[in-house]
Structure 1
Amino acid sequence: MMSTLSFSSGLLGRQLSAAALALASCGTLQAQTLTIAAYPAVDSIAKSAATEWKKKHPGADIKIVSRSFADHHTAMTTALSTTSNLPDVMVLEVGYVARFAENGGLQDLSQAPFDIKAHQAKFVPYAFKQATASTGAVVAVPTDIGPGTLLYRADLLKKAGITESQLTSSWDNYVKAGVQIKAQTNAYLMPHARDMKDIIIRSNLQAGEGLYFDNKGKPLINTPRFERAFSLAREVRTQKLDGKINAWSTEWTEGFKRGQIATQMSGAWLAGHLNNWIAPQTKGLWRAAQLPEKSWASWGGSFYAIPKGAAHKPLAWDFIQMMTMQADLQLKAFKAEDAFPALQAVHKDAFMDQPIEFLGGQKARLLWREAAQKTTAIDVHKLDPIAEEIVNTELDKVLDQGKDIRQALQDAQSLLERRARRS
């Protein structure tokens, strides 16, 4: 297996070296500084690869600008809109890729000399699709992904007399199990009822459907998919199975530490966060499972993109190829930062078979690999962030004010239709 990885790395290394020589022969390499803008933990991954990149590009330097997740994307939004202070490479979370792609500020990597489509088969299919704009332009390259998983506290389930199959056989049984868990352990089934809505609307999408819009730009809010999502979320709230806790809040992290949250639907990366900094003292108590009803979904994922106004595009492209297509670096990032690789060659590595101590010795990466392969790409729309805000506002009215679900969906549909007509 390692020979396969080494061959791929060697081949790419020769390609990059050739590119470096070409640049040097043109006299463009000397005294150039490649600027990378990133957020944690992609910044750490980039820093760890900087030495190798410099060896491939003698005479060039590399500068990594790191900001918090929110500050980074705010800065990138400003940079693209003003075409000032642009980095050569910007890291983007998947939720921002579509937004920036539709605004036209990112380089189309499907065109020469990049020709990223020649490498499409190397990546997890849904991740590559996430970087493809409605025009067919490919504006970014995936580096890590977030296969959807259900993390649960095995000790709390045992105390409540609940098995994993009871938890995952259906969404209705998941809620029923939550009632028993709450009664026997006083732990919440999930942090927030909104989590239920978020997964259900991502399940069982039909051809031509995006999350909020169809392929003709028509909103899809007032549909059975959203009605089921709202109904299950309301059931969670009615049964007092959620703590009304927002993700990434202090209350959220404390809930994990104190055993007040029995399950969390998320990307596979959350297991690493729990182990590394959120709740390391809970090692051995957690397990991973596929989502109920085999609802394949993804949470998050990081991409490398080149702004159209970047100053050093050849160097930027060499860096992106190294970080996304060099198997040994992808594996290194996987081991160090739990960054589940978008590069499919790494999925064959023996590391996938190793038990995870934090998850009680479970070989959970095999579950996540299966989820990565079975997750289908969801078509994106530039108004998705606005649609999410509108839907969440109406869900809050249902959960907190008792608003009728069908009326809430109709109101959200009407508002989104008006916004779509103005865009």
Structure 2
Amino acid sequence: MKTNKRAGWRVWLGHWFRQPRLAMLLGLACLALPPGAAAQQVLVVAAYPAVDQIVRAAIPAWQRLHPHVEVKVVSRQFADHHTAMTTALSTAVYLPDVMALEVGYLGRFSPGYGLEDLTRPPYDIARFKPRFVPYAYQQASNRRGEVVAVPTDIGPGTLLYRKDVLAKAGVSEAELTQSWDSYVAAGIKIKASSGAFLLAHARDIKNILIRTGIQPGEGLYFDNQSQVLVASARFVRAFELAREVRKHKLDARVLAWSGDWTEGFKRGSIATQLSGAWLAGHLNSWLAPDTSGLWRAAQLPEGAFAAYGGTFFAMPRKADKANKALAWDLIQFLTLNRDMQLRAFKAQDAFPALLEAHDDAFFEQPIAFLSGQTARLGWRDAARRIQAVDVHKQDAFAEEVIDTELDKVLERGKDIHAALADAERLLKQRATR
């Protein structure tokens, strides 16, 4: 029988290359490759809009310092992102090296042990504490004294209002801001003369009022000992004013981020909005750009100062150890680099958590959308006067409970004290879980 020498040679080579000797030789060959040919180290960042855009914009500058590191940004919609992060931390599967967290969700993660404690070496975040807006740094702390995330942007509360609608109603800014009662009274005048609603939903006034008058050691719904606070005077007043708004039909009964909410801003059927300063940028860029020049910004009524939103970067404790140093370096680049903070502010209206960025001339520039108003100076002042608010792992659940009870007050006429008592009872059962 004839033998195919070429085929036999292939069989012999295939057998030889399956031997352990091959692994050793290939390993030596890889070591001999030039640096540009070496496999890149990959860093994974999980984020949501528009934080994902901020990270992507910063990557080229960071990669100039780390040319052999690839950064992959995994982006999901806001709620989906936080659900995915909850699952990843609980299962330790598909953990990113860096994750973005909104302050409302930070409380879910900070009490546990899923995030890296940044107070420990080699991180030693306490050395950077004086460089951040105080209340934002405090929000990343837990009851064990750990700091589990780094603030990158904040949301100083503001009152945005349609100047044209107020002019038609003969209402001044002072009437809106003198007190919460005068704010509601101004809404009655606005509705009577123009038909416009004072605000989108009665919940909005509740959301701001429960964030004012918070004492040291307190959070929105719980104190630092997990005692429930929802039966306190600030919740009673928040519910009372929300009920007053609904009684006079001053709210459009539309929820934030809905189509009707957006249309209300476009048409001028919603005269004011209580929110974080970031909303002015959203209105300008995509919510209602055609209304440029019609809006103004003011401080919150009654001299109140409150935080509304904010973003943090954290590192999962069980993420790849080989990437920890790079992940920490990237977080510092995004949060402690003045230029990066200002870039994010100018591009995405992400108000800087880094105090060093607050002295930039950009704060003094007029905002065309607000008809030349230098509103950033007022927002900067508000940011420095906001008191620290402790976060709690049950904050998100507590918000759902309070909103449900408020709806019962607004829709069914439930007694306010009974509603808050029911909320308190339910939250006491969940406070320490």
Q: In the alignment, which residue of structure 1 is the partner of 2:255?
A: 246
Q: In the alignment, which residue of structure 2 is the partner of 1:362?
A: 373
Runs of at least 5 residues in structure 1 that lack an aligned partner in the other structure:
1-28
The structural deviation recorded for 1:420 is: 2.7
Q: In the alignment, which residue of structure 1 is the partner of 2:143?
A: 134
Higher alpha-carbon deviation: 173-182 or 407-416: 407-416
Where do 1:66-215 residues align within 5 Å?
66-215=75-224
Distance in 1 between residues matched to 2:85 and 2:78, nearest whole Å? 11
Distance in 2 between residues matched to 1:48 and 1:415, nearest whole Å? 44
Distance in 2 between residues matched to 1:388 and 1:355, nearest whole Å? 36
1:228-261 CA distances to partner (integer Å, 9 max, x unpaired)?
1111000000000001100000010011011010
Q: Is the 8 A contact 1:30 1:60 kept in 2?
A: no
Distance in 1 between residues matched to 2:216 and 2:140, nearest whole Å? 18
| Match for residue 41 of structure 1 among 43, 47, 50 | 50
Q: Is the 8 A contact 1:145 1:342 kept in 2?
A: yes
RMSD: 1.1
The structural deviation recorded for 1:48 is: 1.1
Where do 1:316-395 residues align within 5 Å?
316-395=327-406
Distance in 2 between residues matched to 1:95 and 1:262, nearest whole Å? 27
2:387 pairs with 1:400: no
Distance in 2 between residues matched to 1:236 and 1:204, nearest whole Å? 21
The structural deviation recorded for 1:54 is: 1.2
Q: Is the 8 A contact 2:200 2:253 kept in 1?
A: yes
* Letter matched to residue 398 of structure 2: A
Distance in 1 between residues matched to 2:80 and 2:429, nearest whole Å? 30
Higher alpha-carbon deviation: 409-418 or 118-127: 409-418
1:97-129 CA distances to partner (integer Å, 9 max, x unpaired)?
121111221001111000111001111001111
* Letter matched to residue 285 of structure 2: N
Q: In the alignment, which residue of structure 1 is the partner of 2:31?
A: none
Q: In the alignment, which residue of structure 2 is the partner of 1:13?
A: none
Q: Is the 8 A contact 2:110 2:148 kept in 1?
A: yes
Q: In the alignment, which residue of structure 2 is the partner of 1:297?
A: 306
Aligned to 2:110, what secondary structure does the other structure show? helix
Higher alpha-carbon deviation: 171-180 or 199-208: 199-208
The structural deviation recorded for 1:62 is: 1.1
Q: Is the 8 A contact 2:106 2:391 kept in 1?
A: no
Distance in 1 between residues matched to 2:174 and 2:80, nearest whole Å? 41
Distance in 2 between residues matched to 1:71 and 1:404, nearest whole Å? 35
Distance in 1 between residues matched to 2:276 and 2:74, nearest whole Å? 26
Aligned to 2:431, what secondary structure does the other structure show? helix
The structural deviation recorded for 1:158 is: 0.7
For these two proteins, the number of residue pairs brought into alignment is 394
2:220 pairs with 1:218: no
The structural deviation recorded for 1:418 is: 2.4
Q: Is the 8 A contact 2:216 2:389 kept in 1?
A: no
Q: Is the 8 A contact 2:100 2:311 kept in 1?
A: yes
Q: In the alignment, which residue of structure 1 is the partner of 2:21?
A: none
* Letter matched to residue 153 of structure 1: R
Distance in 1 between residues matched to 2:217 and 2:106, nearest whole Å? 20
The structural deviation recorded for 1:163 is: 0.6
The structural deviation recorded for 1:31 is: 2.5
Q: Is the 8 A contact 1:157 1:163 kept in 2?
A: yes
Distance in 2 between residues matched to 1:151 and 1:359, nearest whole Å? 9
Distance in 2 between residues matched to 1:63 and 1:206, nearest whole Å? 41
Where do 1:403-422 residues align within 5 Å?
403-420=414-431
1:8-39 CA distances to partner (integer Å, 9 max, x unpaired)?
xxxxxxxxxxxxxxxxxxxxx96310111111
Q: In the alignment, which residue of structure 2 is the partner of 1:274?
A: 283
Q: Is the 8 A contact 2:217 2:389 kept in 1?
A: no
1:59-82 CA distances to partner (integer Å, 9 max, x unpaired)?
221111111111111111111111
The structural deviation recorded for 1:209 is: 2.2
Aligned to 1:102, what secondary structure does the other structure show? coil
Task: Point out the structure with max Rg over C-alpha.
Answer: 2
1:343-390 CA distances to partner (integer Å, 9 max, x unpaired)?
111100000000000001000000000010000111122122222111
Distance in 2 between residues matched to 1:223 and 1:98, nearest whole Å? 21
1:151-208 CA distances to partner (integer Å, 9 max, x unpaired)?
0001111110111011000000000000000111111101000111111111112233
Aligned to 1:271, what secondary structure does the other structure show? helix
Q: In the alignment, which residue of structure 1 is the partner of 2:24?
A: none
Distance in 2 between residues matched to 1:225 and 1:250, nearest whole Å? 31
Higher alpha-carbon deviation: 376-385 or 307-316: 376-385
The structural deviation recorded for 1:216 is: 2.2
Q: In the alignment, which residue of structure 2 is the partner of 1:56?
A: 65
Distance in 1 between residues matched to 2:403 and 2:55, nearest whole Å? 35
* Letter matched to residue 119 of structure 1: F
Distance in 1 between residues matched to 2:333 and 2:428, nearest whole Å? 43
Aligned to 2:330, what secondary structure does the other structure show? helix
The structural deviation recorded for 1:329 is: 1.1
The structural deviation recorded for 1:291 is: 0.2
The structural deviation recorded for 1:410 is: 1.4
Runs of at least 5 residues in structure 2 that lack an aligned partner in the other structure:
1-37
Higher alpha-carbon deviation: 193-202 or 168-177: 193-202
Q: Is the 8 A contact 2:141 2:148 kept in 1?
A: yes
Percent identical among aligned pairs is 61
Aligned to 2:352, what secondary structure does the other structure show? coil
